[in-house]
Amino acid sequence: MSDPIITLTTDFGEESAYVAAMKGVILSTNPAARILDLSHLIPPQDAWHAAFFLAEAIPFFPPQAIHVVVVDPGVGTERAVLYVEIESHQLLVPDNGVITLLARNRSATCRRVAEPRYWRPTVSATFHGRDIFAPIAAHLSLGVTPQQLGPSVTDWVQLSLPTPIFQHDGIAGEVLFVDHFGNLLTNLPVDRLPRQAFRLGIETVAGLPAREVQVRPVRTYGEGRAGELLALVSSGGFWEFALPNGNAARRFGVRRGTHLKVINAA
Amino acid sequence: MSDPIITLTTDFGEESAYVAAMKGVILSTNPAARILDLSHLIPPQDAWHAAFFLAEAIPFFPPQAIHVVVVDPGVGTERAVLYVEIESHQLLVPDNGVITLLARNRSATCRRVAEPRYWRPTVSATFHGRDIFAPIAAHLSLGVTPQQLGPSVTDWVQLSLPTPIFQHDGIAGEVLFVDHFGNLLTNLPVDRLPRQAFRLGIETVAGLPAREVQVRPVRTYGEGRAGELLALVSSGGFWEFALPNGNAARRFGVRRGTHLKVINAA
Amino acid sequence: MSDPIITLTTDFGEESAYVAAMKGVILSTNPAARILDLSHLIPPQDAWHAAFFLAEAIPFFPPQAIHVVVVDPGVGTERAVLYVEIESHQLLVPDNGVITLLARNRSATCRRVAEPRYWRPTVSATFHGRDIFAPIAAHLSLGVTPQQLGPSVTDWVQLSLPTPIFQHDGIAGEVLFVDHFGNLLTNLPVDRLPRQAFRLGIETVAGLPAREVQVRPVRTYGEGRAGELLALVSSGGFWEFALPNGNAARRFGVRRGTHLKVINAA
């Protein structure tokens, strides 16, 4: 059997020693652990971004991995640390909604981490990643059972997901996520993606009317022509807008939360 | 024998879950694979940068590593996915020229990936890294042979390399790569590096005459004085310009493609 | 017994192939080595940042890890490469002070790397990370002893640490480190952290009088209110200033070296 896998997803960046310290703590408890970086560039304290990230990444992992997620603006407060099983996946997360998207339409069980025996002897008020999350992950990888971590809970923080609105002249939605290439992942319903070219309204800054852009639905980026905005279903199942060989977010001044409207053909 | 090594080189960044999903897919197929990040900060869709990166990195690896390269603007189009052996090194790459520099002066053989048995059951049109490259790499690490992946091919995309031009009053070349320290790697021929201080012409923005800078050839960065532009042979065998404890690219407004001219002594 | 761990801390970034080449060299010598990235985003040639990073990270690692640190503006000059044991931790570092903080209040022994048998056959003048550090680390992980690397030395470069100054009306110190969240780690003495709200003087740009800001001492970030500057003891034992859910460095225009003054209550 292979050595156990512990993955790390944080907003710590790499300039500071936070991630390195967590790796040290994990290896001090279980020198055989295989540590895998998922990301340390979740935007600082952005639980929503982390939720999106996890939903796109965790389902592809084998069950034996233990996923540690430290995007934790509430560190040092009363927010709980959770051990979560979502289908066969195991995660350690702060209770701030980062599992919202991953747990949607999947069975999940949850425990509140409460047993200090598996923490570092001294727990700093500002760095639970090192003092609670890392040592617990290492202990789990050594065979400590979820039951030993703390009591079962049935309630946890959920982020509210914006829902698309069906209007008489179109569908209004918003940008959920802007990826590294400037592609726009949205909450528009993929089963309503038009088959023909259509007009998309894009919210602009205060006071200006929304601009309208011509969009062509395609199956792949490669079908697009330079400068043309494409609509397609993303690899994660979201309705996505992309500019072939360009950056749609930059071109149209769009960010997470920007409102969009698919305008019905007249 | 050690567990198999699979390296990843992409332009995916770390904010999005692309790399994480690929890691999950690899480990789901071969839980014993050792995944090693080479870079996820290849500039988006920059096959030339990737080509340079691979030429400077891959030769140092032992033969047993499998190198996955996903810098792939053509994803979802008819561009092929290639399995390449360059001397003893094994790579999975999109057929867009990323192996150009690595394959120069080295023997290479190539197969076109065609056997869907080793892919994920559903292949998205936009994310072959997860659905084709990652599972193939994992299968190779488990003993699938290159022959099983698809047919041998003898032709693949080559990027054209700018060649230096020998003129009556000097040698004209250009910047191939600006590294993290702002050092300038060029296509100037290292066997023509002068032994004495010389003048370097540096192209400036439209309409302005090229500026001229005094350059001193040295063997190491450490021989330079503050503010002095040095010429030396880079660790990868390129003719390089560097500013000791400074950033030459920023100082002289140079980027990849900027024309340079080594001016003959009068 | 687990496979040996080699960690990497550099200022190489990820765009260039420097780190990848080092990983290749390590695995070519010891294919079983487990390579762990600590950071490749130490600011270029910033030995002081590296010193701070190491002091916050290395103490958490188990003794069997070998830590390779390449933040090395003096590469190619006469600066030595050192093998250092600090308590049970083993490091390979350039002799430029990066161990200053880690070695403070800890026992340390040191060897100067001098035996080329454990280097790459050709050593470039500009890339000792690949040609000296990486192969030595791999050889150590295979059982080469520190004695075989070179002679013991008792003297190494120390960075000078700014000391706080006790004045009649307060304590003057400075910012040692700005972390990823914009939190300010300082050289102010933690045993003098007031229990009540106090005024902090913050140096401003040339000619302007220092501004004064109200600060509240707390135990955790979570106790703060929006917009309020907090003082607390950092996870690494430094006196730290933080803006809850904000970026103190950006808000107050502070960077490393900015002078601060804790003003005594009148």
Q: In this predicted model, what pLDDT tens digit does every residue of A235-250 receive, in sequence order?
A: 667 899 998 878 899 9
CB neighbourhood size of B167 (10 A): 12
pLDDT at B209: 66
Q: For B76, which of A39, A49, A221 is closest by C-beta distance?
A: A221
Average pLDDT over residues B40-67: 94
pLDDT at C217: 94
Note whether C257 contacts B: Cβ–Cβ < 8 A.
no
pLDDT at B86: 96
Q: For A39, which of B14, B31, B131 is closest by C-beta distance?
A: B14
3-class secondary structure, C72: coil
CA A53, A55, A57, A63 torsion-angle sign? positive
Tell me the residue type at B196. Q
Q: For B28, which of A52, A57, A61 is closest by C-beta distance?
A: A61
pLDDT at C126: 74
Note whether A27 contacts C: Cβ–Cβ < 8 A.
yes
Nearest CA in chain A to C51: A17
Query: pLDDT of A154-169, one tens digit each?
Result: 999 999 888 999 999 9
pLDDT at position B236 over 70: no
Query: pLDDT of B26-41, one tens digit each?
Result: 999 999 999 999 999 9
pLDDT at A236: 66
Contacts of residue C34 in chain B, CB cutoff 8 Å? Answer: 34
Q: Output the average pLDDT for chain C.
A: 91
In the block, tokens 């395609």 appear at: A218
Name the residue with higher pLDDT: A205 or A74. A74
pLDDT at position C24 over 60: yes
Note whether A3 contacts C: Cβ–Cβ < 8 A.
yes
Average pLDDT over residues B213-227: 85
Contacts of residue A37 in chain C, CB cutoff 8 Å? Answer: 37
pLDDT at C180: 75
CA distance B47 to A232: 24
pLDDT at position A34 over 90: yes
pLDDT at B266: 63
Query: pLDDT of C183-206, one tens digit each?
Result: 899 999 888 889 999 999 998 765
Tell me the residue type at A11. D
pLDDT at A123: 80
CB pairs under 8 A between A and B: 111
* Joined tokens for residue B75: 């994803």
pLDDT at C127: 86
10 Å CB burial of residue A249 (0-12, 13-18, 19+) is buried
Note whether B10 contacts C: Cβ–Cβ < 8 A.
no
Strands (E), B146-204: 152-153, 165-167, 170-178, 184-186, 198-202
pLDDT at A205: 63
A63-99: b or e for each residue (b if 16 or more CB lie within 10 Å)?
eebbbbbbbbbbbbeebbbbbbebeebbbbbbbbbbb
Give the lowest-confidence range in A216-230, B87-101, B147-161, B171-185.
A216-230
ipTM given for this complex: 0.84
pLDDT at position B207 over 60: no
Question: From the CA of B17, how many Å to the nearest CA of chain C?
Answer: 18
Average pLDDT over residues A217-240: 83
Q: Output the average pLDDT for chain A.
A: 91
pLDDT at B134: 98
Question: Which chains would you list as touching C if contact means 3+ CB atom pairs under 8 Å?
Answer: A, B
Nearest CA in chain A to B20: A38
A235 and B45: CB-CB below 8 Å? no
Note whether A226 contacts B: Cβ–Cβ < 8 A.
no
pLDDT at A25: 98
Give the lowest-confidence range in A215-229, B87-101, C136-150.
A215-229
Strongest mean pLDDT among A89-98, A170-179, B42-51, B171-180: A89-98
pLDDT at B78: 81
Percent of chain A surpassing pLDDT 70: 96
Work out the pLDDT band at B109, boundaries 50, 70, 90: very high
Question: Which chains would you list as touching B if contact means 3+ CB atom pairs under 8 Å?
Answer: A, C
Q: For C219, which of A11, A45, A125 is closest by C-beta distance?
A: A125
pLDDT at A235: 67
Contacts of residue A49 in chain B, CB cutoff 8 Å? Answer: 15
Name the residue with higher pLDDT: B104 or B12. B12
pLDDT at C25: 98
Q: Output the average pLDDT for chain B.
A: 91
Contacts of residue A53 in chain B, CB cutoff 8 Å? Answer: 15-17, 20
Contacts of B266 (CB under 8 A, 6+ apart): none
B180 and C18: CB-CB below 8 Å? yes
Best B16, B35, B142 member to test A by mutation, with max A CBs in 10 Å, is: B16
C28 and B222: CB-CB below 8 Å? no
Work out the pLDDT band at C208, boundaries 50, 70, 90: low
Contacts of C165 (CB under 8 A, 6+ apart): C171, C172, C173
3-class secondary structure, B15: coil
B62 and C18: CB-CB below 8 Å? no
Work out the pLDDT band at B75, boundaries 50, 70, 90: confident
Residue numbers of A between 196 and 225 with CB closer than 8 Å to B: 219-223
Residue numbers of B between 47 and 66 with CB closer than 8 Å to C: 49, 52-62, 64-65
Percent of chain B surpassing pLDDT 70: 96
Q: Which long-range contacts (CB under 8 A, 24 or more apart) does A202-208 make?
A: A202/A252, A202/A254, A202/A258, A202/A259, A202/A260, A203/A258, A203/A259, A203/A260, A204/A253, A205/A253
Percent of chain C surpassing pLDDT 90: 68
Question: Which chains would you list as touching A if contact means 3+ CB atom pairs under 8 Å?
Answer: B, C
B44 and A2: CB-CB below 8 Å? no
Q: For B220, which of C22, C23, C125 is closest by C-beta distance?
A: C125
Per DSSP, the residues of chain A read: -PPPEEEEEES-TTTSSHHHHHHHHHHHH-TT-EEEEEES-SPTT-HHHHHHHHHHHGGGS-TT-EEEEE--TTTTSSPPEEEEEETTEEEEEESSSTTHHHHTTS-EEEEE---GGGS-SS--SS-HIIIIIHHHHHHHHTT--HHHH--EES----PPPPPPEEETTEEEEEEEEE-TT--EEE-S-GGG--SS-EEEEE--STTSPPEEEEEEE-SSGGG--TT-EEEEE-TTS-EEEE-TTS-HHHHHT--TT-EEEEEPP-
Output the pTM of the full model. 0.87
CB neighbourhood size of A22 (10 A): 29
